[in-house]
Amino acid sequence: MTTKYKPPRLRNLKPDKRKGRKKRYLLIPLFLVLLLGAGVLLMLRWRAWFGNPPEAPYHTPEEITRVTLTPGSDFTTERTLSWRSGEYLVPSALTLQEITARGDTLAARRIPALGRLVKSRSGKGCFYHVSLDSLHVGSRYLYQLQSGEQRSPVYSFAMPSERECDTTRFVYLGDVQDPQAQMSTTFFRELRERLADSIQFLALAGDQIEGPTDHYWQCWYQALQGWSTRLPIIAAPGNHEYLKRGFARELDVRWVPQTNYPLNGPKGFLQRSYYIDFPLMRFIVLDTTDIMWLGSINSHKSWLRRALSSSRQPWQVVLFHHAVDCVREGRKNIIMHHIFKDELLTYGADLVLQGHDHGYARATTRDERGDTIAPAFVISSASPKVYRNGFSSVHDRLGSGLQLYQDITVTKTQIHYTSYRFQPDSIPRDSLLDRSKLLYDELILRRGRDGAIHVEDKARTLPELFLYEGFGADSKGQKKAAQYAKEVKERRERRKK
């Protein structure tokens, strides 16, 4: 019996079906190329996206360290003191003595502390805290901490005076992120020498540390040199305070126990996103690193709306890590830009303090006549690590390769915002340079007769500085450097017009 020849199936296809099959054959190599590309990208970016700095094994000594003063939800009457000691929970307390505004020293009282054992990747430690309320305007408080047999030195802090309730002055820093703690130690010393008696708190826009390890927290407290025992710190977590867990992120386990911020944040973000009420401003802090999924976006949106719109104070200041309009070349944060920027504009933020980009940028909002109005958005950095900036027209003022601090004064009628460079190393530290020579930016936010907050740019005549030079020495790096120099030149020419 002969078998009838059966042609291959392809030949049986109609011409258009054959075309479809060919297209599919072409798609397979394309898919493989894409897969290979994704694999290479994943390998190159693995550490940045998923890697964590290793945490060396450590022991927590039985000694009271890492003392941190933070405000409660009412800045004029509430403070929390947090500290660390040992690896086993022991009875702990704070002894508090008030010296009134009139100079009377009142009897000391002992307040038991709450403690918790915190285990990180490579060690453990016990954190304690005491929350104080009903503190008095103008009083100074002496305090001593006790954990088991350990006692701290006697420290002190002062509550704002009547005058300070009418004028709130503070320093805001972008990322400090200083792995060696050398530059930051010098900077904090400079700040103490210039401003210790004048400011009421320190605001930090995240990435205080290089990574979530005990060593880097040690560096942080070393750089502060005890300032956190008497100056309240208001901080937002940044991505460098987070552990990467695959695609998820987890805030370092030490963050909450060593700051114990108010419990008025959105669900799932307690003591990470929060707000603090001052007589003249509501100060709102967002933990933007973990606002990644629909649930956290929605809960933060409604919480931020409520926090902004329910405030009775004349000013709303908002602090967070990831900027709504990034200044680092090529960087974008879609969630902050497309969702939270609108919320801040619509619900009445006046001044927005941001970090993450290791450069300087300031943006204002324009009304229909083109006048600059609030909110003003600022990005700053005090870190030795610097990034190349982009040149988006959204930013009124830019800078790169700079380490800056912002000295901000809030009164009933205005916010006076100034940004200063830290003193360059070329000038000896024993003589602090006249600060006016280090001024980098200056704004005044003032409520106009129309009810809008107008922003006056006082830095128009100050030159912008572009000191970033982290381009490689190879031809690719030199090409990038030449392109950057060209963009800087074009910007300077545009600004002259």
Neighbours of 292 (CB within 10 A): 13
Q: Which is nearer to Fe ion, 83 or 468 (CB)?
A: 468
Closer residue to Fe ion, CB minimum distance, 160 or 238: 238
CB of 177 to Fe ion, least distance (A): 7
DSSP string, 242-270: EEEETTEEEE-TTHHHHH---S-S-TT-T
Q: What is the DSSP letter of 405?
A: E
CB of 240 to Fe ion, least distance (A): 6
Which two three-digit tokens encode residue 128? 């304690």
Q: Is 206 exposed, middle or buried (0-12, 13-18, 19+ CB in 10 A)?
A: buried
Of 128 and 172, the one with the shorter C-beta distance to Fe ion is 172
Amino acid found at 179: P
Contact 97, 105 (CB under 8 A): yes
CA 284 to chain centre: 12
208 vs 260, beta carbon nearer Fe ion: 208
Of 239 and 372, which has the nearer Cβ to Fe ion? 239
- Reading the block at residue 424, the tokens are 């360059």
Under the rule (CB under 5 A), what is the footprint of Fe ion? 207, 238-239, 356
Q: For residues 341 and 356, which CB has a smaller minimum distance to Fe ion in the complex?
A: 356
The H or E element that residue 169 is part of is: strand 167-173
Residue nearest to Fe ion (CB): 356
**Separation of alpha carbons 67 and 84, rounded Å:** 7
Closer to Fe ion by Cβ: residue 239 or 419: 239
Q: With respect to Fe ion, which residue has the nearer C-beta, 238 or 266? A: 238
Give 385 or 447: the residue with its C-beta nearer to Fe ion.
Answer: 385
Q: Measured from the CB of residue 51, what is the shortest distance to Fe ion in angstroms?
A: 15
Among candidate residues 128, 113, 196, the one with its CA nearest the CA of residue 156? 196
Instruction: Please report how close the Cβ of residue 462 comes to Fe ion at its closest, in angstroms.
Output: 27
Tell me the closest approach of the beta carbon of residue 388 to Fe ion, in angstroms. 15
3-class DSSP string for 138-158:
CCEEEEEEEECCEECCCEEEE
Q: Minimum Å distance from CB 221 to Fe ion? A: 20
Q: Which residues are 306's β-sheet partners?
A: none
User: Which two tokens mark 411?
Assistant: 């009164």
Q: What is the DSSP string of 318-340?
A: EE-SS-SS--BTT---HHIIIII
Q: How far is the CB of 497 from Fe ion (least distance, A)?
A: 35
The string of DSSP letters for 346-375 reads HTT--EEEE-SSSSEEEEEEE-TT--EEEE
The nearer residue to Fe ion, 206 or 279, going by C-beta atoms, is 206
- Please say whether the beta carbons of 493 and 416 come within 8 A: no
What is the smallest separation between the CB atom of 238 and Fe ion, expressed in angstroms? 5
Compute the Cα dihedral for 324, 330, 335, 339 and give only its sign: positive
Q: How far is the CB of 321 from Fe ion (least distance, A)?
A: 6
Cα–Cα distances in angstroms (integers) from residue 223 to residues 105, 194, 217, 218, 253, in the given order: 33, 16, 10, 9, 21
Residue closer to Fe ion, measured from CB, 254 or 282: 254
Shortest separation between residue 356's beta carbon and Fe ion, angstroms: 4
Q: How far apart are CA 441 and CA 418, in angstroms?
A: 6
For the bound state, the minimum distance from the C-beta of residue 355 to Fe ion, rounded and expressed in Å, comes to 6
Of residues 64 and 319, the one with the C-beta less far from Fe ion: 319
Q: How far is the CB of 413 from Fe ion (least distance, A)?
A: 34
Shortest Å distance, C-beta 131 to Fe ion: 29
Torsion angle in degrees (nearest 10) through CA of 84, 92, 275, 167: -90
Contacts of 412 (CB under 8 A, 6+ apart): 166, 280, 314
Count of Cβ atoms closer than 10 Å to residue 157 Cβ:
18
Query: Judged by CB, which is closer to Fe ion: 406, or 418?
Result: 406
